[in-house]
Amino acid sequence: MDEPEKPLDEPAAPPAPPALPPTAAPSRSLVEARRLWEWFRAPLAIFLISFIGFSLFAWNRFGHQSTDPHFVLLANAFLKGTTEIRKEDVPPGVSSPVAVGKDRHDNDWASWEELPTKDLGLLKGNYVEGSEYEEPNRFETLDGRLYSIPHDRVDMTRSKERRRHYYVSFPPAPAVLMMPLALIQGYHVNDVLFTLWFAAFNVALGYVLLRRLRRLGLTERRDWENVLLSFALGFATVNLWCSVLGQVWFTALVVGLTAMLLFILGCTDLRRPWLAGLALALCIGIRPQLGVAGLLFAGLLFFPQGKLRREGWGGALRDLGLFAAPVVVVALLLFWYNWVRFGNPFVFGHEFLQAGKLDRIVQWGLFNYHFLPLNLTAALTVLPKLSRNYPYITFSLHGMSIFLSMPFLIYLAAPRYPEGDRPSYLWHRALWAAALAVAIPGFFYQNTGWEQYGFRFAMDWIAFLFVLLAMSRRKLTWFFVTLVVLGFLVNAWGAISFKRGPPFDMFYDTWLTP
């Protein structure tokens, strides 16, 4: 039987497409690499932008070593197996206390001398007759004994034994971090570049910390707010002008901020208490007074949910031990380090600055109530002087009020927290306790921070205020952004002009109060 004919206008069926090979699932390593990149790209971008910004402000300092390379010399001394800055080790052209001519540098070195005497043997210490508070020919030994050693009691036949020993009085952790560079570059390490790297890292690390707090539910800040706060920490605080100098005092402050941010980050995860302890140990190795910030960890550990824990004390004490272990190890190393240099585990050497002849230290010691009014003035009330005559404005080398250099901090006056949010309230109290514990002893210190543009010791506790700002539920309005911009402009002028020499010297003077 014949099949019916198909209509001529009926389209032919399209050919079937060729079969595609099954899509292979991405490998586990590729997935992990993508996750790592997603996590890393924002901090990396912040770091690169910050490094370029700090480098531009560093300007003509960027390509060479600072004028006060104490940590460079100490790093090289460690590599040579000594804690002393020795004349035979330091090459010509490097600023040091043992150099001669234009290379000689006498600012802020701890030193003592070996003095051969006719009847007392070889004494180790310093003459203190240069002070108006001591009698002439007074020689104080390292262990605190005082002798009257006039010229005729010195054994001149042993004059070759009379020599002065020089040390870096600043705690050594930044020099330890610098040792890999010193191993390659020797005494020509660029401490300015070293400091700029840590300054940029601080901005990125601040962002990582805020992002971590948001994931834990302790903040509700969006990404742009976390970025704004991180750049405010880096560029709208005293951190900006401190970061571009590279000198020993400011390098210690910048690296100290790094360690403090790491410590707070470690406190966000009490499951790894040894990490927080390691970060706090680094803080102590940079600036020992930062050790009291351990109150933050203790508060979070023993007061979960804002109340004294009622159970789990065994685990809490174990975590406390893990936290304390690296702190104790570093503390013992520092005690040994001080004993080797000065015969006293608790002396870093500031008592021996300028050969022990700083009058204020001789009379009042390193910490005293006597210094409180001056330090409070330097931190809170000093303002620039305005004049009708050129240059129209001058700044005190004792600094300026933190409310002018970091005006956005006024947002801390009235933070907002949701009712019943005990974790946030606990963090709030613990952060304030740690900030005050770090800040208050500094107000009794023998130095206002001079020479400085702003109150530089704020670098010790600014990380706590940074986190408090993030944890507040107060919105970051245009007024806040305006205050951040004002803080940036104030500190940018310091980064541009402070310690630049002529013609900027005319903008600075030595007054403390108007």
Asked if 155 and 207 sit in the same domain, the reply is: no
Query: How many angstroms separate the CA atoms of 110 and 293, rounded?
Result: 27
Spatial strand order in the sheet of 385-386: 385-386, 393-396, 508-509
Query: How many angstroms separate the CA atoms of 427 and 310, rounded?
Result: 19
From 379, 416, 420, 415, select the one nearest 399 (Cα to Cα): 379
Q: 182 in a domain, yes or no?
A: no
Asked if 298 and 202 sit in the same domain, the reply is: yes
**Quick one: pLDDT at residue 132?**
56
Q: 256 in a domain, yes or no?
A: yes
Asked if 161 and 262 sit in the same domain, the reply is: no
Residue type for position 209: L
The Cα-based distances of 226 to 3, 210, 345, 425, 492 in angstroms read 78, 6, 42, 20, 21
Instruction: Provide the domain limits for residue 133.
Output: 70-167
From 73, 87, 84, select the one nearest 340 (Cα to Cα): 84
Where b means 16+ CB within 10 Å and e means fewer, 198-210 reads: bbbbbbbbbbbbb
Query: How many angstroms separate the CA atoms of 389 and 414, rounded?
Result: 40
From 469, 476, 452, select the one nearest 402 (Cα to Cα): 452
**Token duo for residue 155:** 């054994």
**Quick one: pLDDT at residue 500?**
92
Name the pairing type of β-strands 122-127 and 385-386. Answer: unpaired
Q: What beta strand segments (E) does 142-275 contain? A: 146-148, 163-167
Where b means 16+ CB within 10 Å and e means fewer, 70-80 reads: bbbbbbbbbee
**Contact indicator for 429, 466 with CB cutoff of 8 Å:** no
Q: 11 in a domain, yes or no?
A: no
Residue type for position 45: A
**Quick one: pLDDT at residue 388?**
92
**Quick one: pLDDT at residue 1?**
46
Query: How many angstroms separate the CA atoms of 166 and 336, rounded?
Result: 17
Asked if 253 and 306 sit in the same domain, the reply is: yes
**Quick one: pLDDT at residue 8?**
44
Query: How many angstroms separate the CA atoms of 59 and 496, rounded?
Result: 8
Q: 98 in a domain, yes or no?
A: yes
**Token duo for residue 338:** 């001080």
Query: How many angstroms separate the CA atoms of 126 and 256, rounded?
Result: 31
- Hey, is 116 helix, strand or coil? strand
CA atoms within 13 Å, Cβ hemisphere of 217: 5
Answer positive or negative: Cα dihedral of 201, 450, 295, 322.
positive
Query: How many angstroms separate the CA atoms of 352 and 480, rounded?
Result: 45
**Quick one: pLDDT at residue 279?**
96
For residue 508, list its beta bridge partners. Answer: 395
Asked if 150 and 225 sit in the same domain, the reply is: no
**Token duo for residue 375:** 């330090």
**Token duo for residue 502:** 């002529």
Asked if 481 and 427 sit in the same domain, the reply is: yes
Beta-carbon contacts of 91 under 8 Å, excluding residues fewer than 6 positions away, are: 186, 187
Beta-carbon contacts of 121 under 8 Å, excluding residues fewer than 6 positions away, are: none
Asked if 212 and 91 sit in the same domain, the reply is: no
From 354, 341, 343, 347, select the one nearest 167 (Cα to Cα): 341
Q: 173 in a domain, yes or no?
A: no
Question: pLDDT under 50 in the chain at which residues?
Answer: 1-3, 6-9
Q: 52 in a domain, yes or no?
A: no
Asked if 276 and 375 sit in the same domain, the reply is: yes
Beta-carbon contacts of 13 under 8 Å, excluding residues fewer than 6 positions away, are: none
**Quick one: pLDDT at residue 12?**
56
Where b means 16+ CB within 10 Å and e means fewer, 388-419 reads: eeeeeeebbbbbbbbebbbbbbebeeeeeeee
Query: How many angstroms separate the CA atoms of 46 and 112, rounded?
Result: 46
Asked if 220 and 359 sit in the same domain, the reply is: yes
First-to-final CA distance of the chain: 121
The single residue listed with the structure tokens 């971008």 is: 45
Q: 159 in a domain, yes or no?
A: yes
Asked if 163 and 197 sit in the same domain, the reply is: no
Beta-carbon contacts of 65 under 8 Å, excluding residues fewer than 6 positions away, are: 72, 94, 188, 189, 190, 191, 192, 246
Asked if 124 and 219 sit in the same domain, the reply is: no
Q: How many residues does the chain have?
A: 514
- Number of DSSP helices (H) and strands (E) in the chain, helices first: 16, 8
Total domains present in the chain: 2
Query: How many angstroms separate the CA atoms of 179 and 253, rounded?
Result: 18
DSSP assignment of 378-425 equals HHHT--PEE-SSTT-EEEETB---HHHHSGGGGGGGS----TT-HHHH
Asked if 199 and 101 sit in the same domain, the reply is: no
- Residue 104 φ then ψ, to 5°: -70, 135
- Hey, is 125 helix, strand or coil? strand
DSSP label at residue 443? T
Alpha helices in 129-186 (DSSP H): 173-185
DSSP label at residue 222? -
Q: 487 in a domain, yes or no?
A: yes
Give the residue from 101, 136, 167 where a domain finishes: 167
